[in-house]
Amino acid sequence: MLKLVAQTALLIGMSCIAFSVLGKDLMRLATHEAYPYHYIENDRVKGTVVRQIKCAFNRLETPYRAEFSDWVDVELRLRTGKLDAIFAVAESEARSEFGEVSVPVAAKHLYWYFAGNKIDIKTTNPLYQRYKVAAEFGSDEWLALKRAEYNVKMKPRSATALVKLLISHEVDAILLDEHEFEHEISLLRLQDTAFSRTEYGTIDLGVLFSKAFLNDKPTFLDAFNTAVSNCIVPNNGKQ
């Protein structure tokens, strides 16, 4: 049985967790901090999706290296062949041009959050574009808002920066996963602050493998889907 050797290290501008097996090339993966799915705590890489991916690659005896950076950077590097896969992202027509998404490994439950009273911010409101809204730059939520032609000007690159835009009233509403919002509010010690929210919807997230990687390993995606489907962990907002 091949033995996996795990190593966690902090790099300049990003963090990584690497798994190596003697004689095998490392798969190049990348992600972004998004609690409770994939995040860093006390210099340790944690998260429900991280646990699923570790389990799946253990089953496949496939070594990999997963780096943390921002969403824009990781997707650009996948497009340009510098990565084999990124996680966890939603399937889209644009992404299908350069990659293929695995079976879901998580589901985000998204809400509009307001610092005061609720606002009718749905696209059915003829005046919805008058309101300034924000989501984490480059995330699935941000891309969805841009496609719907919302008034999106700010480009926060972390959930913390996004929540700070809301509490400083620089935007009227933010779109964020409920677990991420609760986590950020706890970190900022704003549990006693009154917020309101409106449900937006749920999106499924998977691992996006590049077409170049899958062309080289045409049976890998099916094998990964089978392995990760047997590695489901509870999505309850905890490690």
What local confidence, expressed as pLDDT, does residue 43 receive? Answer: 82
Q: Is residue 234 part of a domain?
A: no
What is the average pLDDT score of the chain?
Answer: 87
Within this chain, do residues 94 and 208 fall inside the same structural domain, yes or no?
yes
Give the DSSP H or E segment for 73. helix 71-79
Helix, strand, coil percentages, rounded to 5, for the chain: 30, 30, 40
CA 204/CA 108 separation, integer angstroms: 6
What local confidence, expressed as pLDDT, does residue 14 receive? Answer: 35
Lowest mean pLDDT across 46-55, 102-111, 184-193: 184-193
Within this chain, do residues 171 and 189 fall inside the same structural domain, yes or no?
yes
CA 121/CA 127 separation, integer angstroms: 8
Of the pLDDT bands very low, low, confident and very high (cuts 50, 70, 90), residue 12 is very low
Instruction: List the alpha helices (DSSP H) in 148-200.
Output: 159-167, 178-187
Within this chain, do residues 14 and 101 fall inside the same structural domain, yes or no?
yes
Looking at the structure of the chain, the number of domains it has is: 2
Of the pLDDT bands very low, low, confident and very high (cuts 50, 70, 90), residue 234 is low
Q: Is residue 236 part of a domain?
A: no
Nearest to 225 by CA among 126, 138, 115, 104: 104
Q: Which two tokens stand for residue 42?
A: 């006390």
Report the relative pairing of strands 151-152 and 132-134 from DSSP bridges.
parallel
Within this chain, do residues 102 and 209 fall inside the same structural domain, yes or no?
yes
Provide the residue range defining the domain that includes 151: 108-202
Report the relative pairing of strands 151-152 and 99-101 from DSSP bridges.
unpaired
Q: Is residue 36 part of a domain?
A: yes
Report field, pTM of the whole predicted structure over 0.75: yes
CATH number at residue 39: 3.40.190.10
Nearest to 135 by CA among 119, 120, 115, 151: 151
- Stated length of the chain: 239
